[in-house]
């Protein structure tokens, strides 16, 4: 049982403010994924938890204990690095037991802990090898194993899969997911890959420029984005966002979208600028959606099971993801429930 | 295209053969062969024809047979028809030609079809030329030194330019100079002093340089960039500027004629470069390794001992080698600071001997050989540690 709490955390490098007033409360033993574009401060946040980066202002608490001034080794966290950071001059066993040996644990205890971790990760027959004799996936397994032997309250993963190739990444993703089910403890996982975020997380924290954009389960994030940034960050291809000019607002309940006059009863719409978002997968050809428009088709990418159609309508660049079986005609449909409206600041209109 | 490539190849390779044979001829004159003329033109034409024909008939005749035919033709014309030279000379040139043909093996007909083969040929042979000339220039003085040390006083006086070694004499007689310098000139003591000074310098320098280099590479402190640049500026000071003030200071402190004084000066002179070399290497060690070590509850001191040092063995051994060679060969400071023969280092002892007109030259040369050999052996032994790549596999790769 462990959880983490951030209280007004600030961090800057020189005059560059990386983390701005970060507040967050984690649940017990959840798999938390911090995701965001590069430079958004997600790795810095992780390194602050680990103690590799000083906390300028604010508090970080693990299980209600303040860890700000604790030495990294006393925070009971374990970190898995993107570059694995295995000690090249030691074999796998030595790598995994190094921390325990420094703590001067008994030989039997070290042995049982290492073999237990090796068993979980299925690296028992690699224990006498040097890191350079291992493949990328094996190295990352060893790095995770090293973290397990430390028996931490919180696992910290710093983009652990981004050095692996696509197939191995998918495999390791499943492994990490299983690992969390096996050793139920808090894991904080930093990535810029939205697929990893969606598949692994209990909750996702989306960061941008040092601030939280949205926190929620993967479903919430996908179905109910708070703003344009979140809406566009999750989902491939990214959500179509296009501008609605004040003259397209017909009345305080009706907006003209892609040639259709659509009635919104829940919102009070003023004569202002708005942004409309529709996900590419919500454009369709064959089904019986309410609204229709006929764009100019620019390009079709066939991915085998689906097609991505790039098109232009009223100077808006749009994309649509449709089944590869459907035949492309000059008309696309969309339905009312899949329309997201954002105000001119990019925030979602809520009723 | 092809014929042009072959001709260029033949010209270049015959030039190489020419230089090899010429060096062999020069060396053999040292062994007493009388040569009036090196016959460059004839050798060149001969070499050209041999290499050219070698390529032309490549497909028809087996390599070994070709090798024997051509080398016999070559030796017959060069060593028998033009000048009647002794058998050992011809055998030597036969070996050289065998070696040469072995190098030519890869340049077969398929090779010349490639359009860019001219470039490959030119570069390959330039490196070969470089190796041959360089080793000749390096090895020749050493050879002279070695030969002189094996001579007797009479032989030296009779013919100072005779560079042959008389292997017929008794072993004891041959190594007489070496026995003498150890017995009458106390070279054993000088070697001991030099070893203590050099190893001491290595140890002290590393002791200071490793933490200093680590600090410059990794830690942030006030004046760090100034420190790291000023390190090399210290090195730019010529030693001769420092010698005289140091002489007066050391005289007053009673550090003249002491090994301790030398250790201080040598450490001071080698430290800047040692720090500079080490910090460059330390910077190349991935930072994540140290962060992982911090999370493994290791202190800064522990990180240096358990992580940085094992990974830096190549860099540390090359620094140690460099420092050792500097200290072993150092002359200026030992000349100034050491007056008492009891505390002489090797280089100072040799200078002392040569200053004395009575000392026979072969003893001096024997002493020089003794100075040179340890450095040579250490270099050969340490060479395997100098190969870097120990960090392979730690991070992505």
Residue-level pLDDT at B387? 54
Residue-level pLDDT at A205? 95
Strand partners, A5: A25, A61
Task: Give the model confidence (pLDDT) of A73-96 as tens digits.
Answer: 888 899 999 988 999 999 999 999
Q: Flag whether pLDDT at A140 surpasses 70.
A: yes
Region B335-359: mean pLDDT is 84
Rounded to the nearest angstrom, the minimum Cα separation between A186 and chain B is 17
Residue-level pLDDT at B386? 59
Residue-level pLDDT at B82? 74
Reduce the DSSP state of residue B375 to 3 states and report it.
Answer: helix
In chain A, which residues have their Cβ closer than 8 Å to the Cβ of B285? Answer: none
Phi, psi of B312 (to 5 degrees): -100, 15
In chain A, which residues have their Cβ closer than 8 Å to the Cβ of B316? Answer: none
Mean pLDDT, chain A, whole residue set: 91
Taking domain B180-391, whether its CATH number is 3.40.50.1820 is answered by no
- Indicate the residue of B292, B298, B397 with minimum beta-carbon distance to A85: B292
**A176 vs A155: CA distance, rounded Å:** 11
**B67 vs B70: CA distance, rounded Å:** 5
In chain A, which residues have their Cβ closer than 8 Å to the Cβ of B394? Answer: 83-88, 131-132
Ranges of each domain in chain B: 2-154, 180-391
**A160 in contact with B, Cβ within 8 Å:** no
Query: Of all residues in chain B, what percent carry a pLDDT higher than 90?
Result: 13
Phi, psi of B151 (to 5 degrees): -95, 165
Task: Give the model confidence (pLDDT) of A182-217 as tens digits.
Answer: 888 999 999 999 999 999 999 999 999 989 999 999
Q: Is residue A223 very low, low, confident or very high in pLDDT (cuts 50, 70, 90)?
A: very high
**A91 in contact with B, Cβ within 8 Å:** no
Q: Is residue B385 very low, low, confident or very high in pLDDT (cuts 50, 70, 90)?
A: low
Residue-level pLDDT at A24? 93
Higher-pLDDT residue of B18 and A190 is: A190
The three-point CA angle B348-B349-B351 to 5° equals 65
In chain B, which residues have their Cβ closer than 8 Å to the Cβ of A85? Answer: 286, 288-289, 291-292, 394-395
The three-point CA angle B155-B161-B163 to 5° equals 75
Region A285-311: mean pLDDT is 89
**B319 vs B322: CA distance, rounded Å:** 5
Query: Of all residues in chain B, what percent carry a pLDDT higher than 70?
Result: 94
Which segment of B65-79, B247-261, B312-326 scores lowest on mean pLDDT? Answer: B65-79
Reduce the DSSP state of residue B114 to 3 states and report it.
Answer: coil
- Per the listing, tokens 């930072």 go with B287
Q: Is residue B395 very low, low, confident or very high in pLDDT (cuts 50, 70, 90)?
A: very low
**A39 in contact with B, Cβ within 8 Å:** no
**A79 in contact with B, Cβ within 8 Å:** yes
Residue-level pLDDT at A60? 93
**A52 in contact with B, Cβ within 8 Å:** yes
Which segment of A45-49, A339-343, B164-168 scores lowest on mean pLDDT? Answer: B164-168
Q: Flag whether pLDDT at B392 surpasses 60.
A: no
Contact A133 B289 (CB under 8 A): no
Contact B295 A77 (CB under 8 A): yes
Residue-level pLDDT at B389? 37
Check if the beta carbon of residue A246 is closer than 8 Å to that of residue A285: no
Region B48-75: mean pLDDT is 81
Reduce the DSSP state of residue A40 to 3 states and report it.
Answer: coil
- Indicate the residue of A79, A83, A88 with minimum beta-carbon distance to B295: A79
Strand partners, A313: A316
**A300 vs A319: CA distance, rounded Å:** 10
Cβ-count burial of A247 within 10 angstroms (0-12 exposed, 13-18 middle, 19+ buried)? exposed
pTM recorded for the entire structure: 0.75
Task: Give the model confidence (pLDDT) of B109-146 as tens digits.
Answer: 777 777 777 788 888 888 888 888 888 888 888 888 88
Q: Is residue A155 very low, low, confident or very high in pLDDT (cuts 50, 70, 90)?
A: very high
The three-point CA angle A135-A137-A141 to 5° equals 115
Q: Flag whether pLDDT at B33 surpasses 90.
A: no
Q: Flag whether pLDDT at B393 surpasses 70.
A: no
Give which of A53, A85, A150, A160 to mutate to test B binding, by max B Cβ within 10 Å.
Answer: A85
Rounded to the nearest angstrom, the minimum Cα separation between B394 and chain A is 5
Q: Is residue B1 very low, low, confident or very high in pLDDT (cuts 50, 70, 90)?
A: low
**B229 vs A117: CA distance, rounded Å:** 47
């Amino acid at each position: 049982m462990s959880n983490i709490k951030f209280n007004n955390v600030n961090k800057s490098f020189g005059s560059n403010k990386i983390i701005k007033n970060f507040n967050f409360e984690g649940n017990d033993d959840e798999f938390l994924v911090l995701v965001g574009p590069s430079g958004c401060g997600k790795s810095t946040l992780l390194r602050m938890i680990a103690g590799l980066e000083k906390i300028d202002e604010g508090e970080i608490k693990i299980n209600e204990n303040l860890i700000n001034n604790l030495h990294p080794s006393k925070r009971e966290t374990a970190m898995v690095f993107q570059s694995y950071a295995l000690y090249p001059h030691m074999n796998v066993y030595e790598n995994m037991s190094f921390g325990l040996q420094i703590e001067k644990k008994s030989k039997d205890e070290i042995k049982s802990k290492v073999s237990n971790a090796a068993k979980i990760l299925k690296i028992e027959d690699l224990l006498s090898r040097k890191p350079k004799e291992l493949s990328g996936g094996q190295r990352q397994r060893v790095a995770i194993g090293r973290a397990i032997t430390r028996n931490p309250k919180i696992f910290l993963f710093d983009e652990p899969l981004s050095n692996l190739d696509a197939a191995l990444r998918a495999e390791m993703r499943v492994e990490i997911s299983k690992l969390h089910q096996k050793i139920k403890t808090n894991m904080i996982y930093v990535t810029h890959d939205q697929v990893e975020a969606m598949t692994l997380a209990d909750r996702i924290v989306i960061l941008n420029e040092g601030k939280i954009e949205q926190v929620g389960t993967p479903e919430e994030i996908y179905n109910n984005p708070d703003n344009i940034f979140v809406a566009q960050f999750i989902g491939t291809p990214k959500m179509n966002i296009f501008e609605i000019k004040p003259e397209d607002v017909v009345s305080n309940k009706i907006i003209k979208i892609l040639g259709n006059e659509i009635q919104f009863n829940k919102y009070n719409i003023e004569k202002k600028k708005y942004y409309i978002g529709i996900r590419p997968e919500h454009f369709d050809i064959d089904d019986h959606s309410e609204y229709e428009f006929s764009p100019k088709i620019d390009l079709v990418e066939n991915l085998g099971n689906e097609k991505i159609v790039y098109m232009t309508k009223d100077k808006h660049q749009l994309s649509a993801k449709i089944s590869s079986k459907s035949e492309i005609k000059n008309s696309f449909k969309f339905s009312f429930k899949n329309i997201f409206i954002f105000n001119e600041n990019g925030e979602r209109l809520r009723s | 295209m092809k014929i042009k490539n072959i001709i260029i190849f033949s010209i270049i390779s015959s030039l190489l053969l020419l230089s090899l044979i010429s060096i062999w001829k020069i060396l053999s004159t040292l062994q007493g062969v009388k040569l009036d003329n090196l016959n460059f033109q004839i050798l060149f034409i001969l070499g050209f024809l041999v290499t050219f024909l070698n390529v032309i008939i490549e497909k028809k005749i087996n390599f070994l047979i070709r090798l024997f035919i051509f080398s016999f033709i070559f030796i017959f014309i060069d060593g028998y028809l033009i000048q009647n030279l002794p058998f050992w000379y011809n055998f030597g040139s036969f070996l050289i030609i065998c070696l040469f043909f072995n190098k030519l093996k890869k340049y077969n007909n398929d090779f010349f079809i490639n359009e860019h083969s001219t470039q490959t040929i030119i570069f390959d042979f330039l490196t070969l030329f470089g190796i041959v000339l360089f080793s000749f220039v390096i090895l020749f003085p050493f050879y002279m030194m070695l030969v002189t040390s094996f001579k007797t006083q009479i032989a030296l006086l009779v013919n100072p330019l005779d560079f042959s070694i008389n292997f017929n004499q008794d072993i004891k007689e041959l190594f007489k100079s070496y026995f003498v310098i150890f017995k009458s000139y106390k070279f054993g003591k000088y070697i001991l002093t030099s070893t203590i000074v050099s190893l001491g310098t290595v140890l002290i320098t590393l002791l200071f340089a490793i933490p200093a280099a680590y600090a410059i590479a990794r830690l942030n402190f006030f004046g760090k960039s100034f420190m790291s640049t000023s390190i090399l500026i210290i090195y730019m000071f010529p030693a001769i500027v420092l010698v005289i003030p140091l002489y007066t200071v050391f005289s007053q402190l009673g550090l003249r004629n002491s090994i301790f004084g030398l250790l201080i000066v040598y450490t001071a002179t080698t430290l800047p470069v040692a720090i500079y070399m080490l910090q460059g290497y330390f910077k190349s060690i991935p930072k994540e390794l140290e962060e992982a070590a911090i999370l493994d509850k290791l202190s800064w001191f522990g990180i240096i001992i358990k992580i940085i040092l094992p990974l830096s063995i190549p860099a540390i051994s090359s620094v140690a080698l460099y420092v050792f060679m500097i200290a072993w060969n150092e002359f200026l400071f030992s000349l100034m600071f050491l007056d008492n023969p009891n505390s002489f280092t090797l280089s100072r002892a040799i200078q002392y001997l040569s200053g004395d007109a009575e000392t026979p030259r072969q003893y001096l040369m024997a002493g020089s050989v003794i100075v040179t050999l340890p450095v040579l052996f250490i270099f050969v032994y340490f060479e395997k540690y100098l190969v870097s790549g120990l960090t392979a596999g730690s991070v992505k790769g």
